[in-house]
Amino acid sequence: MDPGIDDALALLLALRSPELEVEAITTVAGNVEVEKTTRNALRLLEALALRSPPVAGGCSGPLIRPLLTAKHVHGEDGLGGVALPEPSLSPLPRHAVQVMAEVVGRGASVVCTGPLTNLALALLLHPRELRGAREVVVMGGAYGLSPFGHGNVTPVAEYNVYVDPEAAELVFGSGLPLLAVGLDVTMDPSAMLSRREYVKLKRAGTREAELAARLLRPLLERFDRVALHDPMAVAALLDPSLFRVGRYEVRVETRGELTRGQTVVDRRGFSLPGEEWRGHRIKICEEVDGEGFRQLFLERLMG
């Protein structure tokens, strides 16, 4: 993860879900620099008075490209300037890629809510351990499978994939049991959080709901409604029945001048003679029960 306001909300949802045991948090450069994303993960745990799960810092930039942050959305610190306590814990002395390999090698699921740099590097360095993944849920991509499946950083590219398209192409082609939760579902208006629900969170009385309300306030003041991109990736692991999912051949554009980071989906059902498409077949969320998702998010955080 690259906290990031919606990454923070995803972590709150995961920690409040009894079906999940969060074994580790790994951080990557994305919304802000990796030093800040790592500090933010630790600050969130401190705000919740938690001593675990452990946090491991990861890659400081994409595999081969300079980092493009999203500070214009998440603020200079990554959490919208929300005052949180300084962490009393330190990150693990091991790199996130090593920690990911150790945990996934024991059969864990992975939820990726930032650029896929750490996971791609783990596949290159620890392929045997990564094959032990139970499921890999990726928040990323815009697949054109719904009216909302267009880009948010360019007309065709979603931010997490755009930042490190080479990593995304490697992960999508890895053969891991991958489920993509892209803008096709996260930008569905029925799944967005409103000011009315913000008030409910603010009044709920749980530590997690109060923290979520504080994190949401800057975005609600700017946009009136908030898309819960990263929490939806956690929800896909918690309750798959909320989604309609299809399998498609996908490639990630890494060389296009106007199309960098585009997740190109082949829906033709045929190939031309001599064509070298070789798409990667993955599961993609096409539709979401927006009301059911919002209810799940609110119920977990409000207790």
Please state the pTM of the whole predicted model.
Answer: 0.96
Note the pLDDT of residue 268.
85
Note the pLDDT of residue 269.
74
In the numeric block, the tokens 């979603």 are attached to 158
Residue 87 phi, psi dihedral angles, 5° rounding:
-70, 140
Question: Facing residues of 246 across strands?
Answer: 284
CB atoms within 10 A of CB 64: 10
Instruction: Assess whether 95 carries a catalytic annotation.
Output: no
CA 190 to chain centre: 19
Round the CA-based radius of gyration of the chain to a whole number and report it: 18
Show pLDDT as tens, one digit a residue, over the chain (303 residues): 999 999 999 999 999 999 999 999 999 999 999 999 999 999 999 999 999 999 999 999 999 999 999 999 999 999 999 999 999 999 999 999 999 999 999 999 999 999 999 999 999 999 999 999 999 999 999 999 999 999 999 999 999 999 999 999 999 999 999 999 999 999 999 999 999 999 999 999 899 999 999 999 999 999 989 999 999 999 999 999 999 999 999 999 999 999 999 999 998 877 777 777 778 999 999 999 999 999 999 999 998
**Cα 251 from Cα 277, distance rounded (Å):** 8
pLDDT tens per residue across span 97-128: 999 999 999 999 999 999 999 999 999 999 99
Contact 138, 180 (CB under 8 A): yes
Note the pLDDT of residue 177.
97
Nearest in space to 129 (alpha carbons), one of 107, 148, 114, 147: 107
pLDDT tens per residue across span 63-97: 999 999 999 999 999 999 999 999 999 999 999 99
**Cα 210 from Cα 201, distance rounded (Å):** 6
Q: What is the DSSP string of 183-245?
A: HHHHT-GGGSB-HHHHHHHHHH--HHHHHHHHHHHHHHHHHSSB--HHHHHHHHHH-GGGEEE
Nearest in space to 29 (alpha carbons), one of 94, 118, 145: 118
Residue 111 phi, psi dihedral angles, 5° rounding:
-120, 120
Q: Determine which one of 74, 95, 126, 229 is catalytic.
A: 229
Nearest in space to 157 (alpha carbons), one of 183, 130, 127, 135: 183
Residue 250 phi, psi dihedral angles, 5° rounding:
-135, 140
